[in-house]
Structure 1
C-alpha cells in the first residue's frame, strides 16, 4: 500500500516540479525564490503598483527560474545523457537555463519604453531576446507538463511561416520573423496576453490560499467532517469523498492534488465497505475532477473566462453554479446506485469521526472560505482583493492554531515554539503555492503563443474548416469541439486546454450557431470548452488523474479511467444541455425562485440520465425503461422541446416540467410495483 501511495505522490510531484532531492543550499535557493514570488504577488494585491506588462513578465520569470532549477532536461535518458537527468543536484546547465529564462522573460519589462517606440520594427537585440523567450518558454513547458503543448505551439508557429506553401484550403499569407516575434514575445498579444495576465493578477492568490489550507491541515478536516456527516449512510465513504473533494476543489485547481489529498483516506475506506478497487478509484477521480467545476477558482479558468467574455467575475460564478452543483448531486446519485447494486453498508458509528469533535477542532478552517465567498458574492470585492484578505485571515488562523496546540501540550513556555511552527507552516504554504503555480504560469504563457498566432489572421480559415466539417449541423459542431477538447486535454492541463479551445472554437460556436438559427451566448460556448477540457483529466489512455487514483487503490489505471469516464458521462451531457437551454447557466434569469426551480429540475434530469446509464434506478432497469428515463431527462433538461410539439407558446415552457416530473414519477411507481411483485413471488 505504501508503495502505491508513494507512486501517487510522485505523480503529484511531477506536476509541481518536485522531482529532485536537492542538497540543502540548493533547496534553500529554490525555497527563497518561491517565497520571494509569493511576497511579490501579495504585494501586488496590497500596496505595489505595476503596469500589467511588468507584472506578467516578473510572474513568468519566477516560474521559469523555479522550473529550470527543479526539473531535469530528461527523465529516463540513455547512459551518455545521465548528467542532464540529475535528480540529486542542480547541474550547471540548469543554472544557466534559469538565469537565461528569467532574463528573457524580463526583457519586455526592462525595455518597455524602447519596445513601444520600436513597435513593429524590432532591432537585433529585440529579435534575440524575443526568440530566446519563445524557445526557453517552450522548453520549460515541455519539462513541466510534457511535450503536447510545446508541439502544438510549434505546429502553430510553423504554420504561421509556412502558410503560403500549404494546400489551397489551408493557405495563409504567412508572416515574417519580425512580425511573429513582435506579436508573440515583444507585445501583449501573445505570451504576455490575457491568460498570463490573469495568472499573474488573480490565479496565484487562489492557488496560494489552497496551498496554505493544505499545509495547515484543512484537507484532513474536510475529510473527517464529510465522514462524520455521511460515513454511516449506504456507500458512505464514497459520498464523503465527494463532499471532501468538493471542499478541496473550492480553492484547488488540480485534480491530481485533490486525489492525493482526499483519496489517500477515502479510497481505502470505500474498499473497506465493499467497493471494488476500480470503482473506488474511479469515484475519487470523478469527484476530484469535478472539483475544478466548483466556483470560486474552477481550475483557474473562471477568471480567464471573465476576461474573455468581458463580464464581471461574479457573472461567471452565476453561470457556472447550477451546472457544477447538478454534476455533484448526480455523482452522489451514482455512488448511491453503485452501493445499491452491490448491497453495500456504511461505516459503523465507531468507525466515523464524531461530528462535534471534528467541528470543535477544525471549524477555524472554514473561516477563510466563508470570508472568500462573502467578499466575492456579498461585498463584491475584486477576486484578487478577496483572495488576499482570505490569505491574511488564514495566516492569523495558523498562528492561533499553533499557539493553541502548544498551550495544550506544554503551557505558555512553549509560545516561542508555537511562533516558529506557525512561521514554518506559512513558509511551506508560500513555497507550495509557488510550486503549484509553475505549471499554470507556463501553460498560460505557452497557450498565449497559439492565441497570438490565431490573432495573426488564421481565425477565419479555422472557421471555414470547422464549418465544412460540421456541414450546417449545430450538434455536429459541438461534438467536434467536444472531441477535440478531450483529445487535446489528454496531454494538457485543464487551463491550457480551455485557453486553446476557447481561442479556436468558442467564437466559431457562437457565430456558426447564429448562422444555423441558434442563439448561443458567448458564456455558454466558453463553459462548453471548459467542461470538456476538465473531462480530459480522466479520459483514457492518458488521464493522469486516473493513474494517481489507481496507484492508491491498487487498480488497473486504464480500467479506472474507463470507469471514471462512465461516471463522468452525467457531466458530459450538461454542456450540451446548457448550450441548447441557456436557463441552465441562468442566462437572463434574475428571479431566485425561478433559478431554484431550474436547478431542482436539472437535478432530477441528471438523476434520470444517470439511472439510464448505470442500468439501475430503484431496482435493475428493464431494457424498455432506459429510453423512457432518457426522454424524462431530456424533457427536464430542456422543457422548451415540447412546446412546438404541443402547439404551445413560450410562456408555457416551465409548465412542461410537470410532464417531465410525471414521467419520473411513473418510473418510480412502476419499479416499486415490480419490486413488490418480486417479493410476493
Structure 2
C-alpha cells in the first residue's frame, strides 16, 4: 500500500509541477524550450559517445558540434529575447544613441525582430554544418586540387557570418572587432603602407581559408574546444546541476566560521575553484560573485573592496590547474606536450597568485576592521585535528591503500580496483558502527545516517579522484579522462538518489537531474563554440597575411633586443590584446602575436606561453576595460573606477609574478632542491610585496620608509640573479614581519598602528 501511495504521490507531484510550468508559458515558448532541450541533451550525449568511440575524424566531429552548438546558442538567446529579460523594452531602453534620433528609432524597430533573426541564424548554423557534412570528403580532398564551387564560397561566408555574430552576442564587440579587423586587413593588403602591406586576399580566399577549406573556423582551436574542452564544460554543468557549487560555497561558509576574515577568504577559494573551469573571468565573477559579494557586504566589507576581491579572485582562477579556463588544453596542443606537463608547470605560478591574493585580502580586511565573529567553537587547526577530521582522513587513506593494493599488487583493472576499494570502506564503516553500537539494528541506523551525510557533498570527491587518477597516473587524454569522470559523477548521483530517496522515487530523481545536467552543460558550452571558431578565423587571417611574424620582429626590434625591454613590451601587448576577451581567446591571440618575440630572445617556449597567458588573464582587472571589475562593481553597486583601483591594489603582485618565473626557471621546470628553495623564497618575497602595496604588515599601518624597504627586498627576493642574495632578502622580509607581529621593531622604523 505504501508503495502504491508513493507512486501516486509522485504522479500527482509531477502533474502539478507540469501544470504550473505550462500555465505560465505560451505554446511558442514551450516549443522553443523543448527544441533547445532536445538539441542540448543530444549534443552532450553525442560528445560522450564520440569520446568513447572516436567515430569521426576530429574535423568532422567539430563541424557537427559547431552546427548544433551554435543552434543551441542562438535559440537560447532567442528564447531570452522573446520570453525572458531581453525583451523589446530592453532594446528601447538602451542609451547607445540619443533618444529620438534616427539611430535610436532604427534600433528600437530592429529590436522587435531580433529574436526572429537569431532563429534564422540558428537555422543558418545547421545549414552550414549539414552542407560541410554532406560534402566533407570532397572539401577535404578533391576541392583542394580541382577547386571550390561558388556555392562552397557562399557557404563559407555564411559560416563566418554566423560564427562572428555568435561571438558578438556572447562576448561583445572586443573580440568581434578583432575578427572583423583581421578580415578587413586580409582584403585591404595591397593598399596598406609599410610593413603592414601584403598581396591581399579576395573574398573567395577569405571564405576558403576562413571556413570552407576546413581551416580557419575548423582549425585546431575548434578541434580542441569540441573535444577536450567540451567534455569538461559539460561535466562542470552537470556537477553544478547536481549541487557541486552549493557544496563548495557551503564548505567555504563553514571554513569562514573559523577565520577572522570570515567569508572573504571563502570568496577567494570559491572563485578559484570555479574560475579554473569557466573560460571567462566576467562569467565567473557573475556566477560566484552573485553569492560572495553580498556575503562580504553583510560582513561589513566596503562595496568597492567586495567587488574588487571577487573580480581579482575570479580572474586568477583562469590559470589554476587542472583546467585553467580551458587554456591548458589549447596550450598542450599548440606546444605538442602532454597535458600533465602543462598543469605541473602552471601549478606554482597559480598558487603564487592566489597566495598573494589571499595575503592581500587578509591584510586589507584586518587593516580596516572588516573581521567576522568566529561562530565555530575552537580554531581551524583544532578542527583539522579533531576526531571527526582524523577519522575522515583515515578513510581517505584507506581508500588509497586499498585501491593501490587491488590495482598494483593483485592486478585488477582501475574500475574493479575502485569498486573494491569502496567496498572495503563500506565494510569497515559497518564494522565501526557495529562496534560502537553493539546492536545490529542500531548499527544499520548509524550507517544509514553516515551514508546520507556522505552524499550531502563529500561524494563529489569521488569523480574528482577519478579525474586526477586518469590524468596523472594513467596519462589518458583529457577527452577520455573527462568521459570517465562524467560517468563516475552520474554513477555517484544514482547511488545518492537510492540512498537518500525511496526506491521508487530514486530512478525518477536521478534521471531528471541527469537530463538537466546534460542540458545545462551543453548550454554553457554553446557560447564558447562560437568564440573558439572565431579565433580560428583570426589565426588563419593573421597566418595567411604574415602579420603575426611581422609584429614579433618589430617588437624585438623596437626593444633593441634588450631582454627586459622585450619582456615589458610583451607584458603591455598581452594586456592590450587581452582587454575585454574571454581567457581562451586572449591566450590564443597573444600566443600568436606576442609569444614568438620573447621566445626569440631566449625565453623557453613553455615559459613564454605562461608569461603572455598570465598577463592576458590580468587584462580582466586592468583599466580601462577590466570586464571582471565591471561585472563585480555592478553586482556590488559600487563605483567602477574606485573598484578598479582597489582591484589593482589587491592584485598588483600578479603583475610581478610572471617575471619571477622567468628569472627562477625551477618554478616552471621542477628540480630538487631548486624548486623547493626558489618557491619558498618567492613566496616570502610576495608577502613583502603585498605589505608594501597595501601599506600594512598584518598588524601595523606602514609609513613610506618601511614600505620602500619591503618593496626593495621583495624585488631582490623575486629577481636577484644569485640564490644566496635572494635568500638573504627573503630572510630580512621574514624577520621584519615576525618582529612587527611581536612589536619588537626598532623605534626608528616602527610603523603606526591602525586606529
Common topology (TM > 0.5): yes
Candidates 595, 601, 611, aligned match of 2:691: 611
- Secondary structure of 1:119's counterpart equals helix
CA change 1:421–1:543 in 2 (3 A) is farther
- Secondary structure of 2:704's counterpart equals coil
Q: CA deviation at 1:82?
A: 4.8
Candidates 19, 25, 41, aligned match of 2:31: 25
In the alignment, which residue of structure 2 is the partner of 1:329?
355
Matched, 1:124 2:150: yes
- Secondary structure of 1:46's counterpart equals helix
2:356 and 2:651 in contact (8 A); partners too: no
- Secondary structure of 2:625's counterpart equals coil
In the alignment, which residue of structure 2 is the partner of 1:147?
173
In the TM superposition, 1:179-190 aligns within 5 A as: 179-190=205-216
In the alignment, which residue of structure 2 is the partner of 1:68?
74
In the alignment, which residue of structure 1 is the partner of 2:496?
401
CA change 1:82–1:395 in 2 (3 A) is farther
- Structure 2: which 5+ runs fail to align? 1-25, 82-87, 93-103, 389-449
- Secondary structure of 1:185's counterpart equals helix
- Secondary structure of 2:218's counterpart equals coil
Query: What is the distance in 2 between the residues matched to 1:100 and 1:268?
Result: 42
1:191 and 1:446 in contact (8 A); partners too: yes
2:280 and 2:325 in contact (8 A); partners too: yes
Question: What per-residue deviation string (whole Å, max 9, x for no partner) do you get for residues 563-618 of structure 1?
Answer: 223222112211122233322212xx343x44333322221121111111111114
In the TM superposition, 1:634-673 aligns within 5 A as: 634-639=715-720, 641=721, 643=722, 653=723, 655-668=724-737, 671=740, 672-673=742-743
Candidates 534, 547, 561, aligned match of 1:472: 561
2:660 and 2:682 in contact (8 A); partners too: no
Q: CA deviation at 1:279?
A: 1.0
CA change 1:147–1:405 in 2 (3 A) is same
Candidates 613, 627, 637, aligned match of 1:530: 613
CA change 1:189–1:628 in 2 (3 A) is farther
2:276 and 2:325 in contact (8 A); partners too: no
In the TM superposition, 1:25-424 aligns within 5 A as: 25-71=31-77, 76=91, 78-79=104-105, 82=108, 84-85=110-111, 90-91=115-116, 93-115=117-139, 116-119=141-144, 121-349=147-375, 361-406=456-501, 412=502, 415-424=503-512
Query: What is the distance in 1 between the residues matched to 2:174 and 2:346?
Result: 28
Does 562-571 or 305-314 show the bigger shift? Answer: 562-571
Query: What is the distance in 1 between the residues matched to 2:526 and 2:570?
Result: 28
Question: What per-residue deviation string (whole Å, max 9, x for no partner) do you get for residues 104-149 of structure 1?
Answer: 2443333122122121622212211112211222122222211222
Question: What per-residue deviation string (whole Å, max 9, x for no partner) do you get for residues 526-546 of structure 1?
Answer: 112221222222333433322
Query: What is the distance in 2 between the residues matched to 1:570 and 1:196?
Result: 33
Candidates 699, 703, 706, aligned match of 1:625: 706
1:222 and 1:248 in contact (8 A); partners too: no
- Secondary structure of 1:624's counterpart equals helix
Matched, 1:488 2:564: no
Query: What is the distance in 2 between the residues matched to 1:132 and 1:602?
Result: 51
Question: What per-residue deviation string (whole Å, max 9, x for no partner) do you get for residues 295-354 of structure 1?
Answer: 111111100001111111111101100000111111111121012211343333269999
Matched, 1:505 2:594: yes
1:164 and 1:171 in contact (8 A); partners too: yes
CA change 1:213–1:573 in 2 (3 A) is same
- Secondary structure of 1:253's counterpart equals coil
1:122 and 1:178 in contact (8 A); partners too: no
Number of residue pairs matched by the alignment: 632
Instruction: State the TM-score, normalizing by the size of structure 1.
Output: 0.86
Q: CA deviation at 1:22?
A: 6.8
Q: CA deviation at 1:250?
A: 4.1
- Secondary structure of 2:144's counterpart equals coil
In the alignment, which residue of structure 2 is the partner of 1:568?
651
Q: CA deviation at 1:71?
A: 2.6
Matched, 1:453 2:468: no
2:259 and 2:374 in contact (8 A); partners too: no
- Structure 1: which 5+ runs fail to align? 1-19, 407-411, 514-518, 644-652
